[in-house]
């Protein structure tokens, strides 16, 4: 089977490297063509358009920045759906609205091919360590076909959420909301500990060996303690984008989100203050009396 990959950014590029390492022949496309060159050097075939790539491939991965970009590459005469062969599978890794997945899945059905929502949990270092968790939903037989490819892409976990594609996106948005909340809570707790004259590192060490012994608290706690906000593994700008999606889904489903709203305002303010290309843990900087930027 011929595999295509659209979107060669922070996540896409190392996932492509993982697939190449496992011996897959890959066709790749990126809007900014220069990003494809390092992968071409490792054996990927560079396509000049989404249409060209989609015509050639049986399975097309996409990782793009937002709902608009995903709509753009999927819909229309030059899009993935219209050019992928019958029975072909589009694996959409991007974090987008549940309604976007539902809509694009219907468009794929009209072209007799398939859309699988497969958002991923894991920062770039997790791609390289092959510790990604894919959250998948869509047609069961298509999922059975793609699972070995997700494994080769770097999955340590593949979590199936049924045939309704939108449920994978709901799970991903809810997960990112929990991470963002944990970051803000860690930032406020560490700041209170420091302002109280205590060794905040010692406190985090205790917590992450006891009741908060999970990767989110270990990793983000350490980033905030070290103030290691650059380079961003996941930018504040993209974090705000995701929290905006969370709040859009909350409005859509009439769900109260007090923390969600507070996070949205904080992140919006941080981006306005010039922190958009810092890691999203840099929301901790908002707690300092004077802005550092």
Give the binding site for a copy of itself (CB under 8 A): 98, 121, 133, 135, 157, 159, 161-162, 164, 166-167, 170-171, 173-175, 177-179, 181-182, 184-186, 188-193, 195-199, 202-203, 206-207, 209-217, 246, 249-250, 253-260, 262, 266, 286-287, 289
Cβ contacts of residue 75 below 8 Å, gap of 6+? 81, 104, 107
Q: Which is nearer to a copy of itself, 34 or 254 (CB)?
A: 254
Single out the residue of 58, 49, 51 nearest to residue 26, CA to CA: 58
Q: Which is nearer to a copy of itself, 54 or 208 (CB)?
A: 208
Q: Which is nearer to a copy of itself, 14 or 260 (CB)?
A: 260
Least distance CB 19 / a copy of itself (angstroms): 22
Does the annotation count 85 as an active-site position? no
Q: Which is nearer to a copy of itself, 92 or 249 (CB)?
A: 249
Least distance CB 290 / a copy of itself (angstroms): 12
Instruction: Report the C-alpha gap between 150 and 52 in whole angstroms.
Output: 23
Least distance CB 68 / a copy of itself (angstroms): 21
Q: Which is nearer to a copy of itself, 44 or 282 (CB)?
A: 282
Instruction: Report the C-alpha gap between 98 and 113 in whole angstroms.
Output: 19
Least distance CB 88 / a copy of itself (angstroms): 27
Least distance CB 38 / a copy of itself (angstroms): 29
Q: Which is nearer to a copy of itself, 2 or 194 (CB)?
A: 194
Least distance CB 212 / a copy of itself (angstroms): 5
Instruction: Report the C-alpha gap between 6 and 36 in whole angstroms.
Output: 10
Q: Which of 22, 35, 172, 241 is catalytic?
A: 172
Active-site residue list: 172
């Amino acid at each position: 089977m011929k595999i295509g990959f659209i979107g060669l950014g922070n996540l896409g590029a190392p996932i492509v490297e993982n697939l190449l390492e496992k011996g897959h022949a890959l066709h790749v496309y990126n809007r900014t063509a220069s990003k494809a060159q390092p992968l071409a050097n490792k054996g990927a075939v560079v396509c000049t358009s989404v249409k060209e790539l989609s015509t050639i491939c049986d399975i097309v991965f996409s990782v793009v920045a937002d709902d608009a970009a995903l709509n753009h590459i999927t819909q229309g005469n030059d899009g993935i759906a219209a050019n992928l062969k019958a029975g072909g599978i589009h694996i959409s890794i991007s974090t987008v609205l549940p309604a976007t997945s539902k809509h694009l899945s219907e468009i794929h059905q009209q072209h007799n091919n398939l859309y699988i929502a497969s958002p991923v949990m894991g920062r770039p270092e997790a791609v390289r360590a092959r510790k990604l968790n894919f959250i998948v939903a869509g047609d069961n037989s298509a999922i059975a076909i793609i699972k070995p490819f997700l494994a080769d892409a770097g999955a340590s976990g593949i979590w199936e959420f049924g045939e309704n594609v939108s449920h994978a996106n709901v799970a991903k948005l809810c997960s990112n909301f929990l991470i963002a909340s944990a970051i803000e809570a860690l930032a406020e707790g560490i700041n209170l500990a420091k302002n109280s004259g205590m060794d905040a590192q010692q406190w985090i060490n205790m917590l992450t060996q006891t009741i908060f012994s999970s990767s989110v608290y270990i990793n983000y706690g350490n980033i905030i303690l070290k103030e290691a906000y650059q380079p961003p593994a996941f930018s504040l700008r993209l974090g705000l984008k995701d929290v905006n999606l969370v709040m859009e889904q909350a409005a859509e489903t009439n769900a109260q989100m007090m923390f969600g709203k507070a996070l949205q305002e904080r992140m919006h303010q941080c981006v306005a203050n010039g922190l958009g290309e810092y890691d999203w843990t840099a929301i901790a900087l908002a707690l300092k009396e004077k802005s550092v930027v």
